[in-house]
Amino acid sequence: MHSADKNKRNYQRELEQTIQKILQQGKEAPKLLLHSCCAPCSSYVLEYLSQYFQITVLYYNPNIYPQQEYDMRVKEQKTFIEQFSKKASKQGQNRNFFAIDFVEGRYDKERFYQITEGLEDIPEGGERCFRCYELRLREAAEYALRLGMDYFTTTLSISPLKNAARLNEIGEALAREYGIAYLCSDFKKKNGYKRSVELSQEYGMYRQNYCGCVFSITNNK
């Protein structure tokens, strides 16, 4: 085994350890600002984390193209939160559940194009995507600070196509910059991605067939 493999972090285990510390403290559930890339990806994450955190979902994705797609994804996110919350509330004592709030960020698409300028032809999963991660996570950190949250994180790590290590690296750097804790994650683990697909089917959700930006369409043709 290479030394790099030995030092590879298990972000899912770190998340579980954080949750255990929270439960052991026995205090009020901490407040979490959860950046969501879309309703399907948020489904399992909300099912999982709403047992332990008071969550505010931030929909901030200025990368989405075109406008109609953006509007559709926002609507789907709001609908899922409403339907999931009703179902969880009906389950009562069978499931611990904290209410979920929602806030929509700005659709400042020009900001996305500015930070990815010159990287239009880079393949998916490269530097352009990393800049997009940073853009959305920075906005999440700023919202978390403004709203007085205890943690911030993103649903992005649930996708098998997203680089969880880079997401967590960016999140932790922003945590140091803004002075607010980043909740490490790799939500695809423990069948998280599989569960998100099941929940998408259960709730009849719209599942997009591309990441979201115009480059993820044109570069994959």
Mean pLDDT by 10 residues, the chain (221 residues): 60 98 93 97 97 97 96 97 92 76 97 96 94 98 98 97 97 98 98 97 91 82 51
Alpha-carbon distances, residue 22 vs 26, 31, 76, 95, 99 (angstroms): 7, 11, 31, 18, 18
CA 77/CA 7 separation, integer angstroms? 36
pLDDT at 218: 72
CA 6/CA 176 separation, integer angstroms? 25
CATH number for region 30-218: 3.40.50.620
pLDDT at 94: 55
Q: Each residue of 31-43: b (16+ CB within 10 Å) or e?
A: bbbbbbbbbbbbb
CA 207/CA 197 separation, integer angstroms? 9
Alpha-carbon distances, residue 110 vs 56, 67, 125, 170 (angstroms): 25, 12, 21, 22
pLDDT at 219: 62
CA 53/CA 66 separation, integer angstroms? 33
Backbone φ and ψ of 22, nearest 5°: -60, -45
DSSP-assigned letter for residue 38: -
> 61, 63, 62: which is closest to 36 by C-alpha?
61
> 167, 159, 56, 66: which is closest to 104 by C-alpha?
56
pTM of the model: 0.94
Question: Contact 210/112 with Cβ under 8 angstroms?
Answer: no
